[in-house]
Amino acid sequence: MMQTVLIISGLLMVASSIAVIFAESVKKSAVIMGVVSLIASVVFVFMKAYDVAITEASIGAVLTTALYFWSIKRYEEQNEELTGEE
């Protein structure tokens, strides 16, 4: 049972990582990368590495995704200032 869950989780992570490459926008890529981190934290829970799972969920999924969105927002704001669009 546990091997099946780990194999399915691994396949989901690979499929999600490939989906990042073909995503239509950077925001969609950031969300998919957050999902990959959440799947990785679930894998760590199944492996009974609870401290690593908490770290992966908090830093990998939440903090990194928030940082991506903040960076995208800053880029869009600076791009608007340079082009003069509103």
Whole-model pTM above 0.85?
no
Query: Where do the structural domains in the chain lie, given as residue ranges?
Result: 2-83
Please state, in angstroms and as integers, the Cα–Cα distance from residue 79 to each residue in 20, 30, 32, 53, following that order: 23, 19, 24, 37
How does pLDDT run along the chain (86 residues), one tens digit per residue?
A: 889 988 999 999 999 999 999 999 999 999 999 999 999 999 999 999 999 999 999 998 899 999 999 999 999 999 888 887 65
CA angle 63/66/72 to nearest 5° reads: 140
